[in-house]
Amino acid sequence: MKIIKIGIDGGDNYPKSTIKSGISRLVSSFVCSIPEKYSSKLRIYYYYFAKKNIDSPNKIVHHVNLPRRFFSLFFVPLRCFWDRVDVYMGFSGIVPSFIRLFRKTIVFIHDFGFYDYPAYYKDSKKLVWQTNYAIYAANKIVVFSRSIQRQLLERFPKIAPQKVILIYPGVNHLKKREVMSVKNLPRSFFLYVGVIKKIKNVEKLLSLFSLYLIKAKKGDVKLILIGNKEKTYWDYLSHLPVFAKVKQNVIFLENISDEQLYWYYKNCIALLNTSYVEGFCYPVVEALSIGKKVITNNLSLYSEFKPYFKGLHVTVSDKEFLVEMLDEPKKNVTFPIKNHPFYWNTFTTQLLTVVRSMFV
């Protein structure tokens, strides 16, 4: 059988870097979960830009460091042509225009936040144009939830349904390490995990936490937010009156390892999320997968998780959200978990099956 060559656009998600976003989690976990049995059938060309070259981990994955300027526009298509890749995977939702002229393409659509909330994104018009082009240009489209699959087919009725494929990502990258612990962990805290940016509606989270401190009368409870800060939004957030009210009880952290993240999940009262838009939401499923309580707003996505996780509490109002915050589970209590489909080996196997189907 012919060796299939796949080109991946890693961008600034360079190999072995700290996971900073859902896209970097996706790329890293896919590459790391490719079975060794594919060594004679597959080659992955991981294109990225970084200040230094990074050695390739095995004979399946080849790291290729390219110039940052004109990375997607020119250098990625050029290297795809040079390396004779058969399939290009656009994990970031972009398909460079030149690539589709000579290679098969798979694009990954995460959500439609910049369509519905353009003011919350930088260059939202560019993002919409790139997504529109990618959806029509790609041979296959991968989405991560039935919710996004439904939205895509409603927004683009001319797209053939069989072109859009649902594959759930995994969350089994979080594993307990017995020797791992976190120093100076607060005794009692709520947790948010994700980028600190406008679309995540963090100001709502701070407002609800402020109400919680008043109602619960527990001045020692903290709110820990783990994620990179988007500078413009951080400047706005840090000057809000509600920020001044709760800042003594709020802790911001960045660059947390998966081992540390596990312990923050395991020891929190509950994970909180009030985002305007989510395409899959790794933190919610990560916390649920280890039996933690998770409190969210009412996004249609979360109905897909309810059959598997008893710890998920979807609320339809601020009042209901606050009630759930006040209803704290007993320490060390975990919620029941049913067999679920969120495993990286399953994701990778299904994705590679899609790739093979493109050559039948």
pLDDT tens for 112-170 read: 999 999 999 989 999 999 999 999 999 999 999 999 999 999 999 999 999 999 999 99
Read off the amino acid at residue 135: I
- What local confidence, expressed as pLDDT, does residue 179 receive? 45
Predicted confidence (pLDDT) at residue 12 exceeds the cutoff of 90: no
Q: What is the pTM of this model?
A: 0.91
The CATH code of domain 189-326 reads 3.40.50.2000
Backbone dihedral angles phi then psi of residue 252, each to the nearest 5 degrees: -105, 130
Question: What's residue 44's pLDDT?
Answer: 93
The confidence score (pLDDT) of residue 257 equals: 84
Among 304, 254, 264, 303, CA closest to 286:
264
pLDDT digits (tens, 9 = 90+) for 310-336: 999 999 999 999 999 999 887 766 787
**Phi and psi angles of residue 20, each rounded to the nearest 5 degrees, phi first:** -120, -10
User: Domain extents for the chain?
Assistant: 4-170+343-357, 189-326
pLDDT of amino acid 352: 93
Superfamily of domain 4-170+343-357: Glycogen Phosphorylase B; (3.40.50.2000)
Structure tokens at 345: 């080996």
DSSP of 212-247, one letter per residue? Answer: HHHHH--TT-EEEEESPBPHHHHHHHTTSHHHHHHG
- Which residues pair with residue 141 across a beta bridge? 107, 164
Give the alpha-carbon dihedral of 289, 291, 295, 299, to 10 degrees.
30
Q: Averaged over 54-69, what is the pLDDT?
A: 85
> Do the domains spanning 4-170+343-357 and 189-326 agree at the CATH topology level?
yes
Q: Is the pLDDT of residue 280 over 70?
A: yes
Helix (H, G, I), strand (E, B) or coil at 34: coil
**Cα-to-chain-centroid distance, residue 299:** 16
3-state secondary structure of 334: coil
